[in-house]
Amino acid sequence: MKSHPSLIDEQGEVRELTEKDFAVMQPAKEVLPTSLLKTLRIRGRQKAPTKTN
Q: What is the pLDDT of residue 40?
A: 84
Q: What is the pLDDT of residue 42?
A: 62
Q: What is the pLDDT of residue 1?
A: 53
Q: CB–CB of 15/8 below 8 Å? A: yes
Q: CB–CB of 7/24 below 8 Å? A: no
Q: CB–CB of 22/2 below 8 Å? A: no
Enumerate residues 6+ apart whose C-beta is below 8 A from 20.
Answer: 4
Q: Is the pLDDT of residue 3 over 70?
A: yes
Q: What is the pLDDT of residue 26?
A: 92
Check: pTM over 0.85? Answer yes or no.
Answer: no
Using one digit for the tens of pLDDT, what is the confidence trace for 13-29?
A: 998 989 988 898 899 88
